[in-house]
Chains A and B, each alone.
Chain A
């Protein structure tokens, strides 16, 4: 009915949050250790850029889902835009937003948190100096 509106609302909030964070963040230069043993200076990706991953997932998914809703006649390009509101099924629509919409937002956020965890492990591994080879091995 209109489940995609929940992730869309989340996308608006996280996009504003990312813009605010970006204006406050400073570049952090670190030394990373490459596989061949050489050291390279690099700039760490700020948190606002990582929040951008969530924004892109939410905006992209919401856009394509909005098209699907248009396809099924659940949204229309004229007021009140939502067919459920026009046909007096607002309560059912809100119930669907509470169930499917919230679950969509939760799943996408959970996947993003997983991505942050993996990125953190990769970053820590790159920042750690390789152990010198043990003698006699």
Chain B
């Protein structure tokens, strides 16, 4: 469920990135790299788990599924927070700079 949540986040971010490319004012590319990187790593975890459990891997207990989804959402939230910090520090639109200085 964590893998699935992250993959969906990666797909949505990639679509948003492609729609706005080649401009990258919102720096959505950072989110794409982050979510795709994590998705690929969790894919390995999933493959290893599938190797151990077999078909049982696809029928998790509802509690485990809910916990994994909760983790997935938390991971997406953390990714968004990291992206927001990068966006505000890099400030490609100069919004933070404009808020700190008033024109005479």
Contacts and interface: CB of A to CB of B under 8 A. Distances in A.
Contacts of A111: 40
Given A71-B74, A107-B44, A64 B36 contact: no
B34 A104 contact: no
B71 interface: yes
Interface in A50-85: 53, 56-65, 67-68, 71
B104 to A, nearest CB: 38
Given A63-B82, A64-B78, A67-B74, A100 B37 contact: no
Contacts of B29: 56
A60 B30 contact: yes
Interface residues of A, number: 24
Interface residue SS majority, chain B: helix
Interface in B32-55: 33-45, 47-48
Given A4-B41, A62-B37, A56 B30 contact: yes
Interface residue SS majority, chain A: helix
Contacts of A90: none
Interface string B38-82: 111111110110000000000000000000000100110011001
A103 B38 contact: no
Interface in A36-62: 53, 56-62
A14 to B, nearest CB: 12
A60 B2 contact: no
A93 interface: no
A103 B45 CA distance: 9
B40 A104 contact: yes
Contact of B37 (A3, A56, A99): A56
Nearest to A108: B40
Contact of B44 (A53, A59, A68, A100): A100
18 contacts: A4-B41, A7-B41, A53-B33, A60-B30, A60-B33, A60-B35, A60-B38, A61-B36, A64-B38, A64-B75, A64-B78, A64-B79, A65-B42, A71-B74, A100-B44, A103-B47, A107-B41, A107-B44
